[in-house]
Amino acid sequence: MTVRELIGIDEMLSQISVMQELYPTLTEVQYHEMLTDMLPNNNYGQVAIFDNENCVGISGYWLGTKLWCGKYLELDNVIVRKEYRSKGVGKILSEYLENKALVNNCTIQVLDAYAANYKAHRFYYNQGFSPKGFHFIKVMDEKGIR
């Protein structure tokens, strides 16, 4: 398996089928619109794991700075194809992004995991993550939530 950063909208769009494992109703038009907003000035990127030429896992990430922690790397939408789960793909993604955080002088890595996603919780605990607080949301437009 190989790790590769996906560069630009076209390369990210080419792996939409992996994103659709988490968001089955996501269309190419919607994904393109979101990437158009996310890429220019928001320090967003994606890294993917390939088994030969088949993308088997993907994670978005954000690089940013906050007053309470300084520089950080946020994992976003970590997805591993169902048939590749429990085969080390998530660990490869996690290690790659940890190294990226270190290279970028980040003080922490952060991520959100749905409260009921217990398998993800166990995985992230095993990768050295721990909960620090609550991520509160206030929904302003129900149609925009996947």
Domains of the chain: 2-144 (3.40.630.30)
Q: How far apart are CA 46 and CA 34, in angstroms?
A: 13
pLDDT in tens, 68-82: 999 999 999 999 999
At residue 41, the pLDDT reads 78
Q: What's the burial of 17, exposed, middle or buried (CB within 10 Å: 0-12/13-18/19+)?
A: exposed
Q: Give the number of other Cβ atoms within 10 Å of residue 45's Cβ.
A: 20
Encoded tokens for 37: 């907003």
Q: Label residue 83 by pLDDT band (50, 70, 90).
A: very high
Average pLDDT over residues 79-93: 95
Annotate 87-134 with DSSP letters as a single string. TTHHHHHHHHHHHHHHHTT-SEEE----TT-HHHHHHHHHTT----S-
Please determine, for residue 56, whether its predicted confidence score (pLDDT) is greater than 90. Answer: yes
